[in-house]
Structure 1
Amino acid sequence: MYTKINKMMKIQPAGGWPKYHSYYLKKKTSNIHQRNYIYMKHQYTKRQSSQKMVAAVTGKFFQDVKLPQQKTQDDGVLFPAVLSPNHNTDPTAVELHDFEEAIRAQKVWLESLLQKTGAILFRGFPVASPSDFDQVVKAFSYVEFPYFGGIAPRTKVVGRVYTANESPPHMGIPFHHEMSYAPDFPTKVFFYCDEEPGKGGETPIVLSHIIYEKMKEKHPEFVAQLEKHGLSYTDVINDEDDPSSFTGRNWKSKFNTDDKSIAEERAAKLGLKLEWIGNAVKLTSTPLPAIRFDKESRRKTWFNTIAVTYSDPAGKTFSSAGGKTVQIGNGDPVPDHAVEDYFKIVEEECVTIPWKKGDILLINNLMVLHGRRPLLKPPRRVLASLCK
């Protein structure tokens, strides 16, 4: 951006200043102090002009875009927000550095928009690689959330960027809040489309407070139990990744150790009761909140992983996440009909926008549930980054 600004201002960039040299000659001065004064005065003027130029550019950098898949909420707010480079800006002239600078300059506004809408889709920006995505995430200056205690198989790609989920892409992933099954979880999740899907493979999202309100209206007693007792999750994890499951991360990766005694210590810190079954381990969580109160939005949210871990009495698992079960914190079973209605509600209320190469989706993990549609036509590569 600064190179562009210099060109626009007709100021030669760093790397030699013949313009100043000619100016000094015209002034016919050999006094070193006078030359330094002239130079510093010009630098100050240039710096002030550059700052004004940067402010002007970033102030108009983003524009709202409307997509047919967006939904209008009761308060008139579109979900999600969709931002692209301003229509007065030539998109081909926008560089990654411009995008980063605009994020830094407009971070307060972007955070306000995220809190208002729950999710922001950035489309049409020059993000061409995982490294570019990493730079964009860093521009927000959020604290990185280490993926410790997670159940999804993931691999680090670069910097703060990981694969989103390495399970077979033809499998769908139910709606969930990231790591809502753990006492500590990220508050923001970034997704990046590195390879645009041929067909399918979308990342649907839905506002969690709407799910809470709909479920409370339809199943008030069940929701009251969730608010009072929470949910307890049970999981059986092997010592090797299970590539057939989107929750198939092995216990060595989960606890970042292959030492069973260390794994036991780390499980205890996560509030997990651990029981060894050969080389596998059975983990049972203490009851965790299933409904949370978001202080910023002043709303209650459906903050749990019930869709990922639920199985009916016959052993049928809605999510194909074998070995995982859930029950109400007081030991009561989760009612089948309530979960069936939950699945219907999230499908009715969700927004599904097809990915485009270079898209970045930022979601407020306290407000929004996300999932994955089955990939119908390859390729597809979506990466992720978690933040506090």
Structure 2
Amino acid sequence: METRRRWLPTEIDPETAGVPATPEGLLRHLTDGGAPLEDRLTEAKALVFRGFGLRPDALEPIMNFLLPNRLAYVHGNSPRTKVGANLYTSTEYPPEFVISMHNELSYAAKWPTRLMFFCEQAAETGGATPVVDGTLWLDSLDPEVSAAFAAGLRYTQNLHDGYGLGKSWQDTFETGDRAEVERFLAGTEAEWTWKPDGSLRVTQLRPATVKHPVTGEEVWFNQADQWHAAALGDDTAAALAAIMPPEDLPQSVAFADGSPIPGEWAVHIRDVGLASAVDVDWRTGDLMLIDNIAVGHGRRSFTGKRRVLVAMSD
């Protein structure tokens, strides 16, 4: 396999930007008439802004520029808390767990093109956000594995009605109105069924790779490993298998024809993504903008309190 050059996010601080170390200085840098943000982000894939003294109460004008059409986290599968106008906490999994690499909402019919992360409070130790070049991830996979995914994937969600494993359909779609959920799903080419217990099963066929709309680069763009029980660890997978069949899990994944994905392949995908990633070690007040198609992201384990906020745009 050809060795690709090591990719790193582009870091920008007040000195390199030539502006004051203030939120206003950052906004001036972003709007000073240089290269359009879209071009800068496409070239860099991820931009990290640090040293500007950012605070939560100074975010709004910066978010309005970075994310001109801020999106709600509708149909998202990870637990979060909404803390502002389409502003959320990052995934609220226990700190001892690593969150593997993924592109936001890559299992959905539509996904955001930009993600913004703001570190309100850095962890005592750990807690980095790893980011991975999606083309490098694809090139680093065993060719037998990547070739097997050419026909795409079948994702299945079982969303409970308020009590059960995983998320409820009300939290997932940010509504308690079944008709509103159905209108949303009707535009996604998904299949869905309301079950007698009030839960909702959603099935979607999606590609495993996509081409970046600007660069044309093919990237690994799916969440096969995150939706596969084997990638959760042997003990967790065994415990889930003991209490319910795969089709009843909160979320599961198979090949597009419904055939099972070998567990060792899911683990391989997970491990290659994490090994290929570059860690962004947070300092309180840092902000990162990523191209959600070009770059996957995750989370390293941590100790102490950590609060990272997330917003997204198309």
Same fold (TM over 0.5): yes
Could you report, residue by residue, the CA deviation over 1:187-233 in whole angstroms, capped at 9, with x for unpaired residues? 00000000111012221111111111122xx233x423422x21110
Residue identity matched to 1:146: A
Letter in 1 for 2:136: I
In the alignment, what sits opposite 2:227?
Answer: 309
Q: Distance in 2 between matches of 1:384 and 1:194?
A: 11
- 1:241 deviates by 7.6
Q: Share of identical aligned residues, percent?
A: 26
Deviation at 1:119, TM superposition (A): 0.8
TM-score of the two chains, using structure 1 as the length reference: 0.70
Residue in 2 that maps onto 1:97: 24
Structure 1 counterpart of 2:284, which letter?
K
Backbone CA RMSD of aligned residues: 2.8
Match in the other structure for 1:155: 81
Q: SS of the residue aligned with 2:95?
A: coil
Q: Structure 1 pair 88/225, CA: closer, same or farther in 2 (3 Å)?
A: closer
SS, match of residue 206 in structure 2? coil
Which residue in the other structure is 2:146 paired with?
A: 223
User: In proportion to residue count, which structure has more helix?
Assistant: 1
What residue is the counterpart of 1:214 in the other structure?
140
CA contact (8 A) 1:107 1:140 kept: no
Counterpart for residue 362 of structure 1: 289
Q: Please say which of residues 203-212 and 98-107 is displaced more in the overlay.
A: 98-107
Shift of 1:294: 1.1
**Aligned 8 A contact 1:230 1:288 in 2:** yes
> Cα 1:283–1:84, aligned 2, differ >3 Å: closer, same or farther?
same
Stretches (4+) displaced over 6 A: none
Counterpart check, 1:128 vs 2:51 = no
Asked if the contact 1:312–1:336 (Cα under 8 Å) also holds between the matched residues in 2, the reply is yes
Counterpart residue type for residue 224 of structure 1: A
Distance 2:180 2:63 in 1: 32
Give the Å deviation of 1:290. Answer: 0.9
Secondary structure of the structure 2 residue equivalent to 1:189: strand
Residue 174 of structure 1 aligns to a residue in which SS? strand
Aligned residue identity for 2:206: L
Q: Structure 2: any 5+ residue segments left out of the alignment?
A: 241-245
Rounded to whole Å, the distance in 1 between the matches of 2:101 and 2:62 is 26
Q: 1:271 aligned to 2:189?
A: yes
Task: State whether structure 2 residue 306 is matched by structure 1 residue 387.
Answer: no
Match of 2:178 among 257, 260, 268: 260
- Structure with higher Rg: it is 1
Q: Is 1:134–1:159's contact at 8 Å kept on the other side of the alignment? A: no
Instruction: Please show how residues 334-353 of structure 1 align to structure 2 within 5 Å.
Output: 334-353=261-280
Q: Number of matched residues?
A: 301
